[in-house]
C-alpha cells in the first residue's frame, strides 16, 4: 500500500490497523530543539479518543502514546520520531457478520476491488482509528508552530441544521461541551437532535471550522503547492470529509468582484485588509491575515438500521451493522483537523526557508 506518507520536508507516515496490535506514526524531517513530551502529545490524543460521551463510540481505549525514538531530554533530536499507541479494546467478533459483505458508505468494496483482500475488522486502514497517528504527529507540529506565535483553533460550527451563532462565540465553551461547539445554546440543541437520531438508529453530518492566526505572509507556493491546495488535500485525506472551503468558499459564486475583493490599507507601516473573504490566502500564499477553512463531515456510515447491500459473490442481501460506532464523527475529528492543518503549515514553513537568501 502506498499513500501512507504525508509531507515533503516534514514527512509523516502513519501505520497500523483498527484491530491490529497497535497504531502510530513516524515523523521524519522534524528539526531538532523542539520541546516535546509524551504528556503534551497525550493531551491531544485525549481529545480524540473514544468513549468520552454518549455521542462517541463506547470503545474504551486509553490511546496512551509512547515516544520510541527521536526525543532526548525533552527535545527533538532531528532524527526520526517514532510514536506508538497500543490497541487494547478490540472486539473483532463484532465484524464477523460483514466479512464478505460490503457496508454502505464504507471503503469495503474499494479495498476488495483494489487488493482482492481486506481487513474487515473495523475497516483496517480506512478506519477512523488511523487518525490517532496523525494527531500524535500533529501535536509536534502544533508545538513548533506555537513557538512561532501561530495559533490553531478548530471547532464544530454546525450539526445537521443547527448552527453556532458567531455572536455567541466562546473559545472556552469548545472544551466544556462534548460536541466541541463554541456556542452553548447551539450545543444543547444539537445534543437533543443527536439523541433523537440515536433513538432512530441514525447519524448526523457536521461542519468543522478552523481558524489559524499568526501565520506570516508568503507561506505556500504559487503553482501546484499552493497553501490552500495543500490544506484542502490534507483535510480531504481525513476519511469522513466530503468538502473543504477556504474563506467565503462556495459563497463566492453569488458575489461580484467588488464584493469579494479584500481591499488593503496600511497602518504604522504595516499592511492590513479591510475584510477577509479570501480566508487569509491569496495566489496560493498566506497574506498575513487569519486563515479560515471549513470541512464538511458526512454522517457516520455505520448505522444500526437495516440496509440493502451485496456480498462478494454479488448476491443481494440486507445487513444490520453491530459494534460500537459514533453517531457523529465531527467532535472527535476537531483535533484531527487541527493536526492536519499544523502538519501542512509546518512543512510549508520549512520549505519557505529556501525561498530567499
Residue-wise pLDDT tens digits, 286-335: 999 999 999 999 998 888 889 999 999 999 999 888 766 778 999 999 99
Contact present, 222 and 285 (Cβ < 8 Å): yes
Task: Output the nine-digit C-alpha cell for 105.
Answer: 458508505
Architecture per CATH, 5-352: 4-Layer Sandwich (3.60)
The whole-number pLDDT of residue 3 equals 87
Task: Output the nine-digit C-alpha cell for 146.
Answer: 506555537
Query: Residue-wise over 26-54: b if at least 16 C-beta within 10 A, else e?
Result: bbbbbeeebebeeeebbebbebbbbebee
The whole-number pLDDT of residue 292 equals 98
**Backbone Cα Rg of the chain:** 21
Contact present, 122 and 20 (Cβ < 8 Å): no
The whole-number pLDDT of residue 184 equals 97
Q: Which residue positions in the chain have pLDDT lower than 70? A: 1, 50-61, 89-97, 122, 323-324
Q: Is 242 exposed, middle or buried (0-12, 13-18, 19+ CB in 10 A)?
A: exposed
Strand partners, 27: 12, 81
The whole-number pLDDT of residue 110 equals 87
Q: Are strands 151-159 and 206-213 parallel, antiparallel or unpaired?
A: antiparallel
The whole-number pLDDT of residue 160 equals 96
Q: Name the strand (E) or helix (H) holding 270.
A: strand 270-273
Contact present, 138 and 340 (Cβ < 8 Å): yes
Task: Output the nine-digit C-alpha cell for 51.
Answer: 468513549
Contact present, 273 and 261 (Cβ < 8 Å): no
The whole-number pLDDT of residue 61 equals 64
Amino acid at each position: 500500500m502506498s499513500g501512507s506518507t504525508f509531507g515533503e520536508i516534514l514527512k509523516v507516515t502513519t501505520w497500523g490497523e483498527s484491530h491490529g496490535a497497535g497504531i502510530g506514526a513516524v515523523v521524519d524531517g522534524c528539526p531538532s530543539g523542539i520541546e516535546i513530551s509524551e504528556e503534551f502529545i497525550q493531551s491531544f490524543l485525549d481529545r480524540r479518543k473514544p468513549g468520552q460521551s454518549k455521542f462517541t463510540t463506547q470503545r474504551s481505549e486509553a490511546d496512551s502514546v509512547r515516544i520510541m525514538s527521536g526525543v532526548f531530554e525533552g527535545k527533538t533530536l532531528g532524527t526520526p520520531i517514532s510514536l506508538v499507541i497500543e490497541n487494547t479494546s478490540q472486539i473483532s467478533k463484532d465484524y464477523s457478520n460483514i466479512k464478505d459483505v460490503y457496508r454502505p458508505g464504507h471503503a469495503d468494496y474499494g479495498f476488495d476491488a483494489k487488493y482482492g483482500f481486506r481487513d474487515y475488522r473495523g475497516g483496517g486502514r480506512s478506519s477512523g482509528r488511523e487518525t490517532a497517528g496523525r494527531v500524535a504527529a500533529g501535536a509536534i507540529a502544533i508545538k513548533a508552530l506555537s513557538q512561532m506565535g501561530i495559533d490553531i483553533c478548530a471547532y464544530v460550527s454546525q450539526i445537521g441544521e443547527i448552527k453556532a451563532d458567531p455572536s455567541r462565540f466562546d473559545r472556552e465553551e469548545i472544551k466544556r461541551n462534548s460536541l466541541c461547539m463554541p456556542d452553548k445554546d447551539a450545543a444543547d440543541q444539537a445534543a437533543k437532535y443527536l439523541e433523537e437520531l440515536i433513538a432512530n438508529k441514525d447519524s448526523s453530518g457536521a461542519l468543522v471550522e478552523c481558524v489559524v492566526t499568526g501565520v506570516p505572509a508568503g507561506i505556500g507556493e504559487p503553482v501546484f503547492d499552493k497553501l490552500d491546495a495543500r490544506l484542502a488535500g490534507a483535510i480531504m485525506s481525513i476519511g469522513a470529509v466530503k468538502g473543504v472551503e477556504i474563506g467565503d468558499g462556495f459563497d463566492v459564486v453569488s458575489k461580484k468582484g467588488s464584493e469579494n475583493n479584500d481591499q488593503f490599507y496600511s497602518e504604522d507601516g504595516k499592511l492590513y485588509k479591510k475584510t477577509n473573504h479570501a480566508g487569509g490566502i491569496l495566489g496560493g500564499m498566506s497574506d498575513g491575515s487569519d486563515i479560515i477553512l471549513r470541512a464538511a463531515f458526512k454522517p457516520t456510515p455505520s448505522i444500526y438500521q437495516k440496509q440493502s447491500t451485496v456480498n462478494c459473490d454479488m448476491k443481494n442481501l440486507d445487513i444490520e451493522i453491530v459494534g460500537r460506532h459514533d453517531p457523529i464523527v465531527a467532535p472527535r475529528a476537531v483535533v484531527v483537523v487541527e493536526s492536519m492543518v499544523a502538519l501542512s503549515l509546518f512543512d510549508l514553513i520549512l520549505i519557505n526557508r529556501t525561498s530567499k537568501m
